[in-house]
Amino acid sequence: MKIVIANESHFKYAQDICDTIAESAKVRGTGIAKRTPEYIQQRLRNGNAVIALEGDKFAGFCYIEVFGNKKFVANSGLIVHPDYRNQGLAKKIKKTIFDLSRSKFPDAKIFGITTGLAVMKMNYELGYKPVTFSELTDDDEFWKGCQTCKNFDILTRTERKMCLCTGMLYDPVTVEKQPKTEKLNGKAFARLKSIKESLFLKKKDK
């Protein structure tokens, strides 16, 4: 298994990446921002993505998005092909894309929004902290990416202040001043997710 910085030679995997992301969201029943092969290829072209391959077979992927004049970057689209799940590959991909982000954009704040507890745990171990959406980028291009998510109406009616996703942020300035983080309280995140679902989905059903 190799995890490498992607480039134009990996264009042939763009459709597989999009299909795997879409199928994963369908199975989990969660909202996810859809991406086109052309969108993925642009990230491959500019070196803002990593891809995991076993030989010539696609195994996993993640890419970088840049916002706010390089003040914010997001590690998005983390996905592992079903044939390679439960082997710790997602964590390795996440660490690789995080290191690439820190190398290319050392002064940027790295952020993400997710409903997945596993992703929250990986983020936390890398130094991310849960934050309100107001602490994330205000770049409209990022939030436009949520339009294809089935929960977009929640984000809209809360005026982009809250959704089922949890916002997490890695601030290089803050992290350097903080002591080593304590172990993630997974039950607290699960409880937060449950509260959000109860609050927003009940309103939607009325």
Q: Which residues contact 130 (CB under 8 A, 6 or more apart)?
A: 120, 166, 167, 168, 189
pLDDT at 43 exceeding the cut of 90? yes
The pLDDT of residue 195: 67
State the total domains in the chain. Answer: 1
pLDDT grade, residue 180 (50/70/90)?
A: low
Give the CATH number, domain containing residue 79: 3.40.630.30
The pLDDT of residue 24: 82
The pLDDT of residue 90: 95
pLDDT at 22 exceeding the cut of 90? no
Q: Which residues contact 37 (CB under 8 A, 6 or more apart)?
A: 14, 15, 17, 18
Using one digit for the tens of pLDDT, what is the confidence trace for 159-170?
988 888 889 999
When the pLDDT of each residue in the chain is averaged and rounded to a whole number, the result is: 87
Pairwise CA distance, residues 65 & 100, whole Å: 12
Mean pLDDT for the stretch of residues 91-100: 97
The pLDDT of residue 165: 87
pLDDT at 30 exceeding the cut of 60? no
The pLDDT of residue 196: 65
Q: What is the pTM of this model?
A: 0.82
Mean pLDDT for the stretch of residues 24-34: 66
Full domain range(s) for residue 127: 2-205
From residue 120, give the alpha-carbon distance in Å to each of 47, 49, 101, 176: 25, 20, 18, 20
